[in-house]
Amino acid sequence: MLVVMQQGATEEQIDAVIERLTELGFDVHRSTGVVHTVLGGVGGKEEFDLDVFELMEGVKEAHRISSPYKLASRSFRPGGTVVKIRDVDIGAERVVVMAGPCSVESRDQIERSAEIVAAGGARVLRGGAFQPSNAPYAFRGLGEEGLELLREAASRRGLLVASEVTDQTQIALVAQYADILQVGARNMQNFTLLRELGRQRMPVLLKRGISATIEELLLSAEFIMSGGNYDVILCERGIRTFETYTRYTMDISAIPVVQKLSHLPIVADPSHGTGRRDKVVPMARAAVAAGADGLLVEVHPDPDRALSDGAQSLRPEQFQEMMRQLRLIAPAVERSI
Ligand code: PEP
Ligand code: MN
């Protein structure tokens, strides 16, 4: 259920609608746009007359939303969402590059990575301290020590930090060091984790599951948003298909599809999407051309010795070349980097 208020509707009129929605059993979520305030009602009664709302003072229109996600749908915030983290806006005109190694491995490795990332003009340093993996004996990350090293390396260079939480018990710890909490593809439907992230007031980078549809991705975003945390950034990171040449199949079309269905920013991860460093730069170019709000890219000072995802990590000079090319492409789609 969505109620769109008229331009200039008063707070009393808005409160009256909120009260009526609450009486009908809805949880009310408010989006105050530049022109219109939109009230989203979730979970209320099925049977009631839309006229109840359409005839109320200050109401422009009322709709039943047929999609199974409501707060994540484009109609909740037609103008789009900009996730603001200090001086970085995700979902605005500037394409935000988040880059760094797959995992934090040592002080030297993350310092050198941060140097490369900052020199290229990226705004966010990524790095896992808690690593998910399909293989039980693979490197699992340095934990809190890794988070400390990551934060220091980023802060020294004015970068934000994105790092993954693989379990709800890690949220409090990772939140002390990171600016963005990443939910990995394997956890996209870990509903206990999503619910807990809904209680945070901190941006979440939600990666598409390996075999998840776009609707399932948006439903997972809805889990977080229904808890009151609206700062969700979606990430297309490739899906499993019958193709085996690349590690996954990078679904570039998910970018415009998500932008039609949802107001949430969407970034693209061509590193996991292809699994091969020689294919990362072309897919990064394609993602920016398709309208991605940002990129998540793995780069490592010495990828051949990386403890995880070395094959898909860019070498330092490849990263700088990618940034140079993206600066040429972005203006063609009315963006900048
Ligand atoms: C990662 O970002 O390093 C990662 C593990 O990604 P995904 O969850 O998409 O596999
Ligand atoms: Mn990785």
Q: Quick one: pLDDT at residue 179?
A: 98
Q: Quick one: pLDDT at residue 85?
A: 98
Instruction: Look at ligand 1, atom 10, and give the residue with the nearest C-alpha.
Output: 185
Q: Quick one: pLDDT at residue 34?
A: 87
Q: Quick one: pLDDT at residue 44?
A: 82
Q: Which of 187, 5, 180 is nearest to 91 (CA)?
A: 180
Among 220, 269, 295, which residue has the most ligand 1 atoms within 8 Å of its CB, making it the best to mutate? Answer: 269
pLDDT higher than threshold 80 for residue 295 = yes
The Cα 278–Cα 245 span in angstroms is: 12
* Distance from Cα 60 to the centre of ligand 1, integer Å: 43
In tens, the pLDDT along 77-96 reads 999 999 999 999 999 999 99
Q: Quick one: pLDDT at residue 82?
A: 98
Q: Quick one: pLDDT at residue 21?
A: 94
Regarding the beta carbon of 102 and ligand 1, being less than 6 Å apart is answered yes
* CA angle (240, 245, 246) in 5-degree steps: 55
Regarding the beta carbon of 184 and ligand 1, being less than 6 Å apart is answered yes
Regarding the beta carbon of 235 and ligand 1, being less than 6 Å apart is answered no
CB 296 within 8 A of CB 269: yes
Q: Quick one: pLDDT at residue 133?
A: 80
Q: Which of 43, 40, 38 is nearest to 29 (CA)?
A: 40
pLDDT higher than threshold 80 for residue 46 = no
* Distance from Cα 44 to the centre of ligand 1, integer Å: 36
Instruction: Look at ligand 1, atom 8, and give the residue with the nearest C-alpha.
Output: 184
* pTM: predicted TM-score of the whole model, two decimal places: 0.95
Regarding the beta carbon of 209 and ligand 1, being less than 6 Å apart is answered no
Question: What average pLDDT score do residues 130-155 get?
Answer: 93
In tens, the pLDDT along 187-205 reads 999 999 999 999 999 999 9
